[in-house]
Structure formats: C-alpha cells, structure tokens
Amino acid sequence: MANTTTGTRDRRDSRCGLSGEAIVQNGCVVTELATSDIHNHTNNHHHDLSSTMHSETVVPTYKPSCSSTPIYYCSPQKNYSDMNQDCHSLTSQDSGIPTLEINPPEPIIHAHQRTGDGGLVSDSSFYSPATLTLEDSTDGNSIRKSSTFPRSGYDSIRHLSPALRLSTTSGAAVGALNRSDDISSMSSMSTELSVSNEDILDFTVTSSSSAIVTLETDDSSGSHFTDVTLTTSPGNPGDLWSPVRGPHQEEDGRLKKLGPLASLFNRSLFARRVKDNRPVEQKDPGWKLFGKVPLREGPIKDPKRIQKVEIFFLQMLTYFAAFEVFFEENLPKLFAHFQKNNLTPDIYLIDWIFTLYSKSLPLDLACRVWDVFCRDHEEFLFRTGLGLLRLYQDVLSPMDFIHMAQFLTRLPDLIPADQLFQHITAIHMTSRNRKWAQVLQALQKDPERCSPVLKR
Amino acid sequence: MEAIWLYQFRLIVIGDSTVGKSCLIRRFTEGRFAQVSDPTVGVDFFSRLVEIEPGKRIKLQIWDTAGQERFRSITRAYYRNSVGGLLLFDITNRRSFQNVHDWLEEARSHVQPHNIVFLLVGHKCDLEAQREVTRQEAEKLAGAYGMRYVETSARDAINVEHAFTELTRDIFALVRTGEITIQEGWEGVKSGFVPNVVHSSEEVTKSDRRCLC
C-alpha cells in the first residue's frame, strides 16, 4: 500500500544519507560519475569548524575518510545533552543555512553524500567563472535584463572577483570532493573559502562582520539592526533596503553590494544563532499575537527576536509576491495550475532561496548560479527558480498538489545544466515594462498585495 | 498504480528542531531510518496510504515542518489547512517537552476556525538511558490537553505505524460522526469517493481529474 511516489523519485535522498548505500570516495577526484543509481558517491569530508572560530587564517583541512563507516553529524543533542538547551537548538540551526559559522568551538563532521547524478557536468570547466561569459555569449540581452540592480561598475567587479575566484578555487576542491549538494557542504565550503584565500576575506568579512555586529548589538537592548530592517525606505529603486545607517556604516555598505536580500540573509538569518542564546523569550505571553500586529507597531509591543523573524517573514512574502508576478508573466499556464492547486511559492521557494540552491541543486550547478548571483544579486535566485519551473513545466503540469510539492522540494538528481541555463536565460525579467526591482518596490509599498501565505 | 481512498487527511508534524520529525515521517513513509538527516528548510512533503479497516484506505498527506524558529512564521501558516498533527518532543531533551505547551498554543491560535486533532509523541524512546521526561508526566500532560500519548522510535521502528494509524483512526471517527466535515476552501479533509489516480511523478501523461476549485 505504500505510496508509489515515495522512493521512486527520491533516489538522491542525500538529506537522509542512507549510509548503507554509500560508497566512500575517499576524497578522490571523481570526474566520471556513474550515471546509474546504484553508485551513490559519498564524500566524507571532515571539517573542523571550531578551528575557523579561533583563527581567521586557518587553512582548511580535508581529512578524507578511509573507512566506509558512515560519518554522522555530531548530533548536538547527543553529544551535548546536558548543555544549555538553547545552545542545543542553536547548534541544530546552524547547519540549516549556508552561512559563516560562528559556533562555539565544536567539532562538526559532515558526511557529504550525493548519489550518482551523472557525469554530465563533471568537467572542471564548469567550476570556472566562465559561467558568466558562457551566458554572455548565448544571450547578451539576458545579462542586461537581469541586471536591474544598479552596480557600482568596476568597484563591484573588483569586490566580487574573489567570489568568482572562489568558485574556481573551490572547483578543484569540489571536484576532488565530488559534487555534493547538501546544505552542510555549502556552509562548510563558504567557511573553508573564507579562510583559504586572503582575497576572499573581503567578500566573506561582509557576512561575518555583520553577524558579529549583531552579536554585539543584540546583547545591548538597542539592536540597531532591528531598526535598520524596520526603516525601509522604498523611495529609491536602487536601494530597496536603504537602511538608516547606524554606526556600522561600512558593513552596511559592503552588504549592500550583495543586494538587499543578501543583507537580509546576513541580518536576519546568519545572525540568528546569536539571538537564540537569549533566554526563552518565546514564552512571553505577547508573542502569539504577533501575526496579527501590524508591521509598524511591532517594535513597541513584541519581543525583538520575534519581530525580526516576523519582519523577515513579511519581507520574504514581498519577494514571493514579486516572484509570482514574473511567474505569471513567463509561465501563465503553469501559474494557473499552481493556483488551482493552492501551491504557493513559499512551499518550494524557501527551500531554494534560503539555501541559495545548495540543497536543491547539485553543487556544480549551484556554483554556476552563485556566480551570477554575485553579479545580479537576489534577482538571479528568483530567476533561477523560474528557470527551473520552466524547465520542468511539462512534468509539473499534470501533477496534483502533493506530487508537485514533492517534486519541487526534491528536484531530480540529473538536472541538465545547459538546458537549465537556457531556460533561465529565456525567462524575461520584465513585467509590464517593470523590472524586478520596480515590481518589488511597488509591492513593498503595498504590502496588502503580497502575502500569498497569509491569504490562504 | 491506482489506489482508491476514502479520504485524504492533511497532517502536520511539529515540534522543536532535532526532535526527529523528519526521521519519524521517513520511517513511516519510506520504512527506513536515516542516520544523517539535514535540518528541514521550510516544509517537506510526504504521503502514504493507511488502511484503517479492511478496504478502507485513507491517504495521508504529511507536512513535515522545520522546527527552527526562523521558519516559524512560515510554518504557522500551515496549521489552518491541517486536520491532524503529531506534536513531537524528544524524551531525552527536557526543553523540547517544556515547549510542547507553546507549540499547542501556537497551533490552536492559528488553526481557527478549524480544529486540529493532535497526538503527543515522545520520540527517541530507544534512548532509554538518556531519558529526561518520564512517561507518566508526558501522559499527564497529554491528558490535560485531551490528547493521546505515544512513545516512538524511528531508529528502532517502535510505534511508528501505531502513532500515525491511531491519529488517522481518531480523525476518521470524527469525520464519521460529522464533527469534522469536508469544507470548501479547506484542505484538511478531502473526499476520495471518486476514484483518484495516484500517479507517480514519472507518469506525466495522466491528467489530474480532481476538481480543486
């Protein structure tokens, strides 16, 4: 009586990491992945996050495992059962989001596993920043279209170039490590990269410094980040977040180059762990009311921590609404089908966007997405989402809710990279002559129009 | 493969992060236990048919929510369209038990105007040596809220079937007595009297005949 869908499509199951099926690759370069599902290539990759805590110049260490014994996450729960409970949930949160780890010193061992996703794109050239040129040559227009966010020209390129090299440097490492697309791989990768290349520090300091800033301000009662997030001034399309600058202007400036969403990630997500150190605020009697409190009144009535989450949530809804505008524009039939089935974008977009596709796409594909993300900012994440929907339009359109939801939250192992990028390129990021930033801005001015989740 | 079900119930699984929600569901729907499990981001989806009486099958659509607080704003929007829920805590983690009350409060305040049938689940009961919550106090708490209490282990496959089928039976009983009714615009319970096609994602040629207005 078992449902026919489970297991058939979910071959990858890397989240689950069935150790019994895994073949340990011992960190060897795996360029010819078997296309069969029989071989699940696993890569065991020990990564000591605690070392990055203590020193910024630690060279990442790869200790390929030679045993076929599955390597588990150190379950915080089991190893630290008598630790402060908040720390416990804190630790568990960390691996959920690709981020720069600012853990309390604690060894984390990752088991990277990815089942045979084909040798399609194992060529090392895919790891090079050539992605940009590639897309440039296929469709120059798309580049221009996608760049609705003003860039600071040379400065921006200079700033981001380490990140581009990042994918090159990591290419070797990643190639050697096999492609692994689970979240932890990305989170650990960003950590590795942040310490393995001096140039990259410029890039990564952005995130870590913002997290640290939050750390400092969080303990004092006047966390300026809360205010920053609240004081959005949608007047300037190029500066959607246009935060009131606190004393940490430099960090803000840097963050902005990565786009509003990136800053949002940094402030609201990457810094979350710090807030969780605080005592059980969620027991405050007022917190339940939150969803009903208008955005602007939030700060006065509710605990700060909840506000941030809530405000972040409302901002995400704006992004989802903007996504839907372009979804309808580009794929009207599929959009109608989704609507008919009450399949709202939060159901699949959270998984895609929060992890920057590190969970949903094979790492080689994710790297290509990140390349353009660094240049085009968050718009490209949503464009990638639309490209995925376009690529799988024919597969999705006969499905019902649960099958679509399952399909989208567990994308196929074999995603043809070139086809995906062709579909991404084919997505028009204009709707009624408005570009992404303009649509987003309009929605931010009128939050009533943009709550797909709350409307249900 | 075709399967006919009487009803489809949408269940939501909630509880603190790392209590084992995803592992419990995977054990139930896929029959296996994963030693390594990544944190759920947002929500995950599972489904399975349950035969509560000979010939009477219920399709369970299970929403596996992220336990992490950062996703709370999103996941709380999913209560409204659920008819049942498993509220998990980890018997080796006292805090997760203490938070049961908050989870219930949150669910109750977001499920209106509908109701949600909850089952309290003390998970990881294979780790008896590390137990921090006694069965008695958990039963007492469940009783205070009018819930059943079940102790499960996804690793050792203890009571996993039992937990889901008991909840399904309870909901089914309420549907039969008319206390829970199928409503337009509510996804909690769907009728399956018209034979429905359960098709896997690969069978893309068949069209979905259900009307979900």
Q: What is the pLDDT of residues A259-298, one digit of tens each?
A: 555 555 544 444 344 344 444 333 333 222 222 233 333 3
Task: Write the pLDDT tens digit of every residue in A376-426.
Answer: 999 999 999 999 999 999 999 999 999 999 999 999 999 999 999 999 999
Contact A121, A174 (CB under 8 A): no
Helices A401-409 and A346-354 sit at what angle, rounded to 10 degrees? 0
Shortest distance, CA A365 to any CA of chain B (angstroms): 20
More confident residue, A364 or B192: A364
Cβ <8 Å between B38 and A184? yes
Query: Does residue A79 have a pLDDT over 70?
Result: no
Percentage of residues in chain A having pLDDT higher than 90:
27
CA distance A127 to A168: 6
Question: How far, in whole angstroms, is CA B78 from its chain's centroid?
Answer: 12
Query: Does residue B96 have a pLDDT over 60?
Result: yes
More confident residue, B11 or B195: B11
Structure confidence at residue B114 as a pLDDT band (50, 70, 90): confident
Going from the C-alpha of A310 to that of each of B24, B47, B121, the distances in angstroms are: 29, 30, 28
> Which residues have C-beta within 8 Å of that of residue A74, sequence separation ≥ 6?
A106, A107, A108, A109
What is the predicted pLDDT for the residue at A447?
A: 64
What is the predicted pLDDT for the residue at A450?
A: 55
Shortest distance, CA B184 to any CA of chain A (angstroms): 12
Within 13 Å of residue A245, how many CA atoms lie on the same side as its CB? Answer: 11
Query: Does residue B53 have a pLDDT over 50?
Result: yes
What is the predicted pLDDT for the residue at B61?
A: 96
The residue-averaged pLDDT of A362-375 equals 96
Tokens found for residue A215: 């750390």
The residue-averaged pLDDT of B92-116 equals 93
Shortest distance, CA A25 to any CA of chain B (angstroms): 18
Structure confidence at residue A302 as a pLDDT band (50, 70, 90): low
Write down the residue that tokens 């337009």 correspond to: B184
SS3 (DSSP) at A327: helix
What is the predicted pLDDT for the residue at A264?
A: 52
Write down the residue that tokens 């137990």 correspond to: B131
More confident residue, B201 or B64: B64
Domain covering A306-449 assigned CATH 1.10.472.80 in the classification: yes
Strands B189-191 and A40-47: unpaired
A316 membership: H or E segment, kind and range: helix A304-330
Q: Where are the domains of chain A?
A: 306-449
Contacts A108 to B, Cβ<8 Å = none
What is the predicted pLDDT for the residue at A259?
A: 52
User: Which residue segments constitute the domains of chain B, with CATH numbers given?
Assistant: 7-191 (3.40.50.300)
* Residue from B36, B29, B116, B39 nearest B81 by CA: B116
The radius of gyration computed from the CA coordinates of chain B, to the nearest angstrom, equals 17
Tokens found for residue B166: 């008991």
Query: Does residue A445 have a pLDDT over 80?
Result: yes
- Tell me which of A19-23, A300-304, A389-393, A424-428 is least confident: A19-23
CA distance A255 to A261: 9
Q: Which residue of A has its CA nearest to B206?
A: A398
Chain B, 67 to 96: residues with Cβ < 8 Å from chain A are 67-74, 76-77, 80-81, 90, 92-95
Cβ <8 Å between B202 and A454? no
Cβ <8 Å between B81 and A76? no
Query: Does residue A125 have a pLDDT over 70?
Result: no
- Omega before B113 cis (within 30°)? yes
Query: Does residue A211 have a pLDDT over 50?
Result: no
Query: Does residue A198 have a pLDDT over 50?
Result: no
Average pLDDT, chain A: 55
Contact A382, A322 (CB under 8 A): yes
The residue-averaged pLDDT of A144-158 equals 36
